[in-house]
Structure 1
């Protein structure tokens, strides 16, 4: 897929995600009457704007593990539910907890998680693909944040997802975050298996001194 099509897809996805949240919350007035949700929207568009300056792609590169593609529609379905249901349950006040303080905590976590998710995309450039694939000229990055954890982008995704759920005070949103874990871990295992075949002992040594997601824990 070309870069222009990838960026267009990202823009459409952002607008659709926000649109589902606005719909779930009961319309523009209901959504934007909450200052934390206004801030959440601004963070969402800032992160989307930053994505325009990255070189991430959906290229299958020189070698791809196509067996892992099943996680993409799963992520898509969970993503659509996460866009709509937290806002919807917030409107109905079902499975909700906390108040504005929790909403602002959610906005903060969404911003931090989003930044953490974007950071590796800038670091890896065109080696960052939405597919499990080895790209042309692929090199193993082991410094910076990659010197501590091997999958910072996925950690950022989880933190941002938790933040989104908390911005709507949504227990359902947190349950959807939990449902994201099995396909995410399957994705991590597929990536690490492919990198082992590409980099061999160098990657094994790298794994021995780093954590997958949380330093010192996992």
Structure 2
């Protein structure tokens, strides 16, 4: 499969910038890499970025897009930048921190598991996975595998991943920012559901009747 050079460059640069903000926040490379857990976080981030490049996920508006939902991308971008810097910065200042090294390693576990859950559906959906709320050419519902239980597993993975990142820096601020991410995330979920209902009608309603939006047995 051919990987877009532009996408590869953008993804790698964005990842390095994200890690760079964390390194800056915590006080520089020496302070960052003095914590073994953060070594693993950095390496895992780079690996997941590399793996994502081999997916068919895209930013295509497809055949039909809800353009009114694009504000969510801006919200995600702002919250993402804050998550990159503030947890590391508060860790450095020992402000709103929780626990010790054990919490960092718990964060590593959540970060990796969330990253896997975030990427897995991207490969399952292939070209149907878009960063925009859109119906792609030849779009069909996937209702088996992980999608037989959850309608938005990748979004749950994103939240778990962010919780893990926050815990790796022992950051209460990071957990608060992750909670705030629910606002644009739920707005996006509702926009996607409206578009899928418009496209698939009763078939989608039947699918919704036996699956969970985001968290099994909760929502």
> Is the 1:55–1:121 contact (alpha carbons within 8 Å) kept by the matching residues of 2?
yes
> Is the 1:22–1:87 contact (alpha carbons within 8 Å) kept by the matching residues of 2?
yes
Asked whether 1:211 is paired with 2:212, we answer: yes
Asked whether 1:63 is paired with 2:64, we answer: yes
For structure 2, list consecutive stretches of 5 or more residues without a partner in the other structure.
none
The corresponding residue for 1:189 is 190
The corresponding residue for 1:21 is 22
Flag as ranges the 4+ runs of structure 1 deviating above 3 A.
Answer: none
- CA RMSD after TM alignment: 1.0
Looking at structure 1, the residues matched to 199 and 6 of structure 2 have their Cα atoms a distance apart, in angstroms, of 29
Looking at structure 1, the residues matched to 153 and 4 of structure 2 have their Cα atoms a distance apart, in angstroms, of 23
The corresponding residue for 1:38 is 39
The corresponding residue for 1:92 is 93
Deviation per CA, 1:68-90: give whole Å up to 9, x if none: 00011110000000000000000
Query: How far apart are 1:47 and its partner, in Å?
Result: 0.6
- Does the C-alpha gap of structure 1 residues 4 and 61 become closer, same or farther in structure 2, counting only changes over 3 Å? farther
Asked whether 1:139 is paired with 2:140, we answer: yes
Q: Secondary structure at the match of 2:57?
A: coil
What TM-score do the two structures reach when normalised by structure 2?
0.97
Asked whether 1:117 is paired with 2:112, we answer: no
Looking at structure 1, the residues matched to 74 and 147 of structure 2 have their Cα atoms a distance apart, in angstroms, of 28
Looking at structure 1, the residues matched to 29 and 116 of structure 2 have their Cα atoms a distance apart, in angstroms, of 26
What TM-score do the two structures reach when normalised by structure 1?
0.98
Looking at structure 2, the residues matched to 102 and 82 of structure 1 have their Cα atoms a distance apart, in angstroms, of 17
Q: What count of residue pairs does the alignment treat as equivalent?
A: 217
> What pairs up with 1:77-88 in 2 under 5 angstroms?
77-88=78-89
> Is the 1:3–1:57 contact (alpha carbons within 8 Å) kept by the matching residues of 2?
no
The corresponding residue for 2:48 is 47
